[in-house]
A and B are shown apart, each in its own frame.
Chain A
Amino acid sequence: MSPHDGFLRVEQVHKWFGDLHVLRGITVDVRPGEVIVLIGPSGSGKSTLLRTMNMLEEPTLGKVYFEGEDLTDVRVDLNMVRTRMGMVFQHFNLFPHKTALANVTLALETVLGLKGPDANERALQQLGDVGLQDKAGSYPSQLSGGQQQRVAIARALAMQPKLMLFDEVTSALDPELIKEVLDVMAKLASEGMTMVVVTHEMGFAREVGSRMLFMDEGLVIEEGDPREMFAEPQHPRTQEFFSQIL
């Protein structure tokens, strides 16, 4: 398959932070409609890999293709590319000086150029989809962690992206708030959204993931169907990892 035909392709990507070799030649293909789950011990490079997909982290070596464009080409307008891929962060990163509604409308207005009423309408609908229409006027500090994360998801979805990147989005949440966020993500997956999910939620990985990648020391060591991998991990490192967390 030529890289230009693919949806998202990370090709032979290396990343160094100083002397630290975080990604050591990773190639991943993401096909439309897939829910890729990235798991692995901390420091294995999962988040860094995810962040190279929308170029928040520039690969030191290698290519990232999205819908036929080479994102590592300096001539590519990354801002336009990023409107087609949403990202949700571990610490929500909501804009604290703006209401939930304004968090969602900001990029609609300043990036997509939507007019105020149109942006509001789309944002309210998106907040409704994550069950937070009545919180539109609240500031992030007035919302629970789970609600904040759902606003963050709505903020990303309002751009109507083709791909969603989730970076350990439940890791900073109190246990009882995790489910409401996972439910939103599961619903999104069932609607056919292409997703790449870095997570420690093994239940979610098993139930929602269509493909699972196990990473260790900057490499993808094993990949496959999540249920099969949980049942019969092949690589010794994978077996060891599962034995430690399950």
Chain B
Amino acid sequence: MTGTAATVDPLATDQTKPHRTLSDWYQDQTTLSLTAGVLGATSLSLLVIGTPILITTFGWVPSEKLAEAITSPAQGLLLWISLGLGLTGAALGWGTFRRMPNKAARETAVGGAVLGAQAVVLDVLFLWVRTGQVDVLVRQYFEFGLLADQGPRFVRAALNTLILSLAGETIGIVLGLVLAVFVLSRRRLVRAPARLYINFFRGTPLIWQLSFGWLGIVLALGLGVGPYLAAMLILGLNAGAYSAEIFRAGIESIDRGQFEAARSLGMSYGKALRHVILPQGVRRVIPPLTNEFVILIKDTSLVFILGLTFTQKELLSTARDLYAATFNATPWLAAAAGYLVITLPMIRLVRMLEERLRSGMTGIVGAQ
């Protein structure tokens, strides 16, 4: 219908194309969507599958080979082809998806447009990177040969990261629960110190807490506590403040009627809390608490300032040590990979828990 001149009676449109039947028109539409889909998919796979294959033919190590592969004319050709296909697919899909006669055709057109657009963005970024000093970047950050015999060291580092964060989270949960109950007290004398604690630990940087706690308290006082244990404790004290706020919100989200029902049956404040409020509140705080745990996992990276011994080093300290020893930044990438290996499953867990909660497993009955 588009492009029809104003002088032409729109009702007569089908008579202006007598050689085309309705079924041809229908056929064209779905062919267009399929073309867009194939173009988009091809352009993206060319980039994300083609590039590694091409690099493999040159070699990933040493870095000179890798740099050579990336700057090679073949890689450039691949990128430009991918860019062209992606642009075409994106334009075609975007331009036609509204006119598709059925859901499947429409989704194919949209899919082609989206994949094509993704390829275009990545291609442009890649082409831009290739205009810089690729050999310097690759030599600094992608010297994978350096990591060859560092496997066990990084596994131990990841384990230490996990131990530190788990210990911190455990201390944090116990402490947070107690603090939350205090903060919710009717009595200001009970509330105030808990609030002070929470605000202090939430209001100062963790790195300050770690350095002051370690240098200022443990070392200066000569308490004889090792850096590993000190790290766990300080991380726990910090996590306690954050967990307390999560627990407080969880408890406050439970309908007041629950508390009143429990009290009207003769249950004390403590019994009502323990048997009625907390079991419901805890279910609700599991997703935010897990989220908090993910943050704590990453925050363990700050314990490098405590000067852990060799076997106590966690991921970031290990990367720093290796960097200092080799003046090469590739270990930083390995550390990032290590964090992702730990955090990605946790992030997925949070989403699963949130979905289960949303599906009404803990619906509060009669509370609306």
Residue with the highest number of chain B CB atoms closer than 10 Å, among A54, A79, A86, A148: A79
Min distance, Cβ B357 to any Cβ of chain A, angstroms: 13
Contact of A93 among B260, B280, B360 (CB under 8 A): B260
**Per-position 1/0 for A98-130, Cβ under 8 A of B:** 000000001100111000000000000000000
A141 in contact (CB, < 8 A): yes
Complex contact B363–A111 (CB within 8 A): no
Complex contact A54–B264 (CB within 8 A): yes
Given contacts A96-B280, A141-B365, contact A106 B264 (CB under 8 A): no
**Per-position 1/0 for A197-211, Cβ under 8 A of B:** 000000000000000
Given contacts A91-B257, A93-B260, A97-B279, contact A148 B265 (CB under 8 A): no
Complex contact B366–A111 (CB within 8 A): no
Min distance, Cβ B164 to any Cβ of chain A, angstroms: 33
Q: A112: which B residues are within 8 A, CB to CB?
A: 266
Min distance, Cβ B78 to any Cβ of chain A, angstroms: 57
Given contacts A79-B266, A106-B275, A111-B266, contact A96 B362 (CB under 8 A): yes
Give how many A-B residue pairs fall within 8 Å (CB-CB): 86
Complex contact B362–A82 (CB within 8 A): no
**Per-position 1/0 for B239-267, Cβ under 8 A of A:** 00000000000000001011011111111
Q: B363: which A residues are within 8 A, CB to CB?
A: 96, 141
Residue with the highest number of chain A CB atoms closer than 10 Å, among B255, B267, B279: B267
Q: A156: which B residues are within 8 A, CB to CB?
A: 264-265
B364 in contact (CB, < 8 A): yes
B72 in contact (CB, < 8 A): no
Min distance, Cβ A91 to any Cβ of chain B, angstroms: 4
Given contacts A82-B264, A91-B257, A159-B266, contact A111 B365 (CB under 8 A): no
Complex contact A82–B276 (CB within 8 A): no
Min distance, Cβ B105 to any Cβ of chain A, angstroms: 42
Contact of A110 among B255, B264, B275 (CB under 8 A): B275
A26 in contact (CB, < 8 A): no
Q: A95: which B residues are within 8 A, CB to CB?
A: 258, 261-262, 276, 280
Complex contact A82–B265 (CB within 8 A): yes
**Per-position 1/0 for B211-255, Cβ under 8 A of A:** 000000000000000000000000000000000000000000001
A7 in contact (CB, < 8 A): no
Complex contact A111–B271 (CB within 8 A): yes
B31 in contact (CB, < 8 A): no
A87 in contact (CB, < 8 A): yes
Q: A93: which B residues are within 8 A, CB to CB?
A: 255, 257-258, 260-261, 366-367
Interface size on A, residues (CB 8 A): 32
Given contacts A89-B261, A93-B261, A96-B362, contact A79 B267 (CB under 8 A): yes
Min distance, Cβ A140 to any Cβ of chain B, angstroms: 4
Min distance, Cβ B235 to any Cβ of chain A, angstroms: 31
A94 in contact (CB, < 8 A): yes
A82 closest partner in B (C-beta): B266
Q: A83: which B residues are within 8 A, CB to CB?
A: 265-266
Q: Give the docked Cα–Cα distance between A156 and B267 (Å).
A: 12
Q: Give the docked Cα–Cα distance between A59 and B276 (Å).
A: 26
Q: Give the docked Cα–Cα distance between A87 and B264 (Å).
A: 6
Q: Give the docked Cα–Cα distance between A156 and B271 (Å).
A: 17
Complex contact A82–B366 (CB within 8 A): no
Given contacts A79-B266, A89-B260, contact A110 B271 (CB under 8 A): yes
Min distance, Cβ B269 to any Cβ of chain A, angstroms: 9
Q: Give the docked Cα–Cα distance between A133 and B368 (Å).
A: 27
Contact of A92 among B262, B275, B362, B365 (CB under 8 A): B365
B256 closest partner in A (C-beta): A93
B268 in contact (CB, < 8 A): yes
Q: Give the docked Cα–Cα distance between A56 and B261 (Å).
A: 10
Residue with the highest number of chain A CB atoms closer than 10 Å, among B276, B279, B365: B365
Given contacts A54-B264, A86-B264, contact A96 B364 (CB under 8 A): yes
Min distance, Cβ A127 to any Cβ of chain B, angstroms: 16
Q: Give the docked Cα–Cα distance between A97 and B258 (Å).
A: 11
Q: B368: which A residues are within 8 A, CB to CB?
A: 91
Q: B364: which A residues are within 8 A, CB to CB?
A: 96
Q: B366: which A residues are within 8 A, CB to CB?
A: 91-94, 140, 145, 148, 172
Min distance, Cβ B360 to any Cβ of chain A, angstroms: 8
Q: A152: which B residues are within 8 A, CB to CB?
A: 261
B283 closest partner in A (C-beta): A97
Q: Give the docked Cα–Cα distance between A181 and B268 (Å).
A: 28
Complex contact B257–A107 (CB within 8 A): no
Complex contact A56–B268 (CB within 8 A): no
Complex contact B279–A107 (CB within 8 A): no
Q: Give the docked Cα–Cα distance between A80 and B368 (Å).
A: 30
A155 in contact (CB, < 8 A): yes
Given contacts A92-B365, A106-B275, contact A159 B265 (CB under 8 A): yes
Q: Give the docked Cα–Cα distance between A140 and B362 (Å).
A: 11
Q: B276: which A residues are within 8 A, CB to CB?
A: 95, 106
Contact of A89 among B257, B267, B275 (CB under 8 A): B257
- 5 chain-A/chain-B pairs, Cβ below 8 angstroms: A97-B362, A107-B266, A107-B267, A111-B265, A111-B267
The 9 lowest CB-CB distance pairs between A and B, nearest first, are A93-B261, A107-B265, A83-B266, A92-B366, A93-B257, A87-B264, A91-B366, A140-B365, A82-B266
Interface residues of B (CB under 8 A from A): 255, 257-258, 260-268, 271, 275-276, 279-280, 283, 360, 362-368
